[in-house]
Amino acid sequence: MRTLICGSMAYDNIMVFQGHFKDQILPDQIHILNVSFLVPQLRREFGGCAGNIAYNLKLLGGEPLIMASVGSDAGPYLTRLDKLKLTSTHVRQHSNALTAQAFITTDLDDNQITAFHPGAMNFSHMEHISGWMDVNLAIVAPDGREGMLQHARELAAQEIPFMFDPGQGLPMFSGEELLNFVKLATYVAVNDYEGKMLEDRTGTSLENIAATVKALVVTRGAEGSSIFSGGQRIDVPCVKATEVLDPTGCGDAYRAGLLYGISNGLDWRTTGQIASVMGSLKIASRGGQNHNPSREDIVSTYQQAFGTTF
């Protein structure tokens, strides 16, 4: 059975400013801010939460099925999906929009200024979930607002267990809407900042949220992650990376590990450890989809980190 990945597909345009933002921005002139940065380095990477999660799940040997909306400029991305043997049956192309794009400028202190254009992502609600898709698990990752709301309702109606991963889309929703996502979802995954925001928006604690789902996962970057399930807390350490080059897409790689473990009926500790390995392998390369470990490489990294296999 396949895992349905509902979320964004995007191009990440990453620029490097060979200086420091603080030297270019005058604090007493912010009200008339007008600055320009020369960026000699520019990379365009394949990204988006759905694209990144599916890519990593495929590396693990899973069967991802992407549901996403792309624009008239999506040709290179669709070609890539074909080469990776990732099914694009439910990737809808819209000729009147561009594919979602992030424009990220980073300075020498690793500060970032980001602009995001949602583009075709706003039409994600035009794709519907039905029983004939033959999926036994899904994730609702950051996407168009209406699409996220609709896909959560449809998955619940089809009784397909799913993970709610609000990510950077969390501010789009009211506390009531977020509580409804949690009510419909089987699992919830957030980073520590999103967890605090989820508590503030909903007026309830993560402990209470954990009690209503099969598992609540909270990631903390280099400090590892915690999985709350069945009244227990499982702390998973961060796996040391060979290099720390770029955190872009690490959360998506981690979530792919979670989905793999769940779909294969693995226990939560093993599942979290696989997720930690995937994040470690990703952070050692630039971009969300440029790491390419074999299944054997993944198992070997897991064994070195935890002294066992999966």
Count of the separate structural domains present in the chain:
1
Q: Determine whether 12 is an active site residue.
A: no
Q: pLDDT class for 268, splitting at 50, 70, 90?
A: very high
Span 243-253, pLDDT tens digits? 988 888 999 99
Is it the case that residue 204 has pLDDT exceeding 90?
yes
Residue 24 lies in a domain: no
Range of the domain at 95: 2-8+49-99+120-306
3-class SS string, the chain: CEEEEECCCEEEEEEECCCCHHHHCCHHHHHHCCCCCCCCEEEEEEECHHHHHHHHHHHHCCCEEEEEEEECCCHHHHHHHHHCCCCCCEEEEECCCCCEEEEEEECCCCCEEEEEECHHHHHHHHCCCCHHHCEEEEEECCCCHHHHHHHHHHHHHCCCCEEECCHHHHHHCCHHHHHHHHHHCCEEEEEHHHHHHHHHHHCCCHHHHHHHCCEEEEECHHHCEEEEECCEEEEECCCCCCCCCCCCCHHHHHHHHHHHHHHCCCCHHHHHHHHHHHHHHHHCCCCCCCCCCCHHHHHHHHHHHHCCCC
Domain assignment present for residue 27? The answer is: no
Span 6-20, mean pLDDT?
94
Is 203 among the domain residues? yes
Does some domain include residue 212?
yes
Question: How many Å apart are CA 1 and CA 160, to the nearest integer?
Answer: 12
The CATH number for 132's domain is 3.40.1190.20
Is 57 among the domain residues? Answer: yes
**For residue 42, is it within any domain?**
no
Mean pLDDT (whole number) for 119-129: 97
Q: Assess if residue 38 is contained within a domain.
A: no
| Within a domain: 77 | yes
Given the residues 107, 143, 246, 252, the one annotated as active site? 252
Q: What percent of the chain clears pLDDT 70, i.e. is strictly above it?
A: 100
10 Å CB burial of residue 290 (0-12, 13-18, 19+) is middle
The pTM for the full model equals 0.94
Average confidence (pLDDT) over 205-214? 98
